[in-house]
Amino acid sequence: MSTKIYLLLLPLCASTSASILEFEGKVRYPTCQVMVNGIANRPIIQLPSVHINDLSKIGYVTGETSFDVTLYDCLRSMTLEQRWDVLFSPWGIDKNRESLIPGMVPAISGSAKDIGLQILENPAGQPINNEFIGDLLIGYRLKEAIIIPPGESQGSRTFAIRYISLSDTPQPGTLNAYVQYAVTYF
């Protein structure tokens, strides 16, 4: 009799042991964090007020303002130098697809007319080169913009932005422009 009960309980034990929890996880190397002027979320770069006479001809520039893009908390490589590209993709970039002004960031809102912004490789530097996919302008890429030496976990680059006149008759006022940026490692 005890053997018979034992055999009847065995299927019950088998069915309860089928409730198995499986755990999965992933351990990975950390990616870098990004700050602009020490701010991680939605930084605002404030350009100075300038006189419209400084922008009286097409291509005139003024009001240069620097800003820092910093990578931090990056995985340290003890032997390799890390080289990071930075790509700026302005909102409204289609407004620059005819003229193809390097580094040009169109104004999205505000009362100023025929005035844009232009991103530079560094303060007093050259405008950042246009980046294309096929014939389509997608933004402005600076290759190897941020270099992190072996053994280090952070690096930084100082860029600049300035006003640029898009005509011989710009109109004063306010302007807002937006740029999405991507930092990539190759």
Across the range 133-139, mean pLDDT stands at 88
Which pTM value belongs to this model?
0.81
Beta carbons of 93 and 138 less than 8 angstroms apart: yes
- Whether 46 shows a pLDDT value over 80: the answer reads yes
Q: Has residue 17 been placed in a domain? A: no
Q: Is residue 83 part of a domain?
A: yes
Residue 119 tokens, joined:
């991103």
Please indicate, yes or no, if residue 36 is contained in any of the structural domains.
yes
Say if residues 185 and 82 touch (Cβ distance below 8 Å): yes
124 contacts: CB under 8 Å, gap ≥ 6 = 64, 160
Q: Write down the pLDDT at residue 12.
A: 47
Collapsing DSSP states into helix, strand and coil, what is residue 52? Answer: helix
Asked, for residue 8, whether it belongs to a domain, the answer is no
What residue has token string 């809102």?
A: 109
Q: 60 exposed, middle or buried (CB, 10 Å; 0-12, 13-18, 19+)?
A: middle
**Mean pLDDT across 112-139:** 94
Instruction: Select, from the ranges 7-11, 108-112, 132-136, the one with the highest average predicted confidence (pLDDT).
Output: 108-112
pLDDT, position 57 = 97
Provide the β-strand partners of residue 20: none
Domain-embedded: residue 12: no
Q: Which residues lie below 8 Å from residue 67, measured CB to CB, with a gap of 6+?
A: 36, 37, 43, 45, 158, 159, 160, 161
Higher-scoring residue by pLDDT: 108, 65? 65
pLDDT band at 21 (very low <50, low <70, confident <90, very high): confident
Q: What is the mean pLDDT of residues 141-164?
A: 96
The domain tally of the chain equals 1
In a domain? residue 1: no
Q: Say what the pLDDT of residue 60 is.
A: 98
Q: Give the span between the Cα atoms of 64 and 184, in whole angstroms.
A: 26
Assign residue 50 the CATH number of its domain.
2.60.40.1090
Q: What is the domain extent for residue 76?
A: 30-185
Q: Over range 58-83, report the average pLDDT.
A: 94
Q: What is the pLDDT of residue 16?
A: 52
Q: Determine, yes or no, domain membership for 15.
A: no
**What is the spatial distance between Cα 124 and Cα 47, in angstroms, rounded to a whole number?**
15
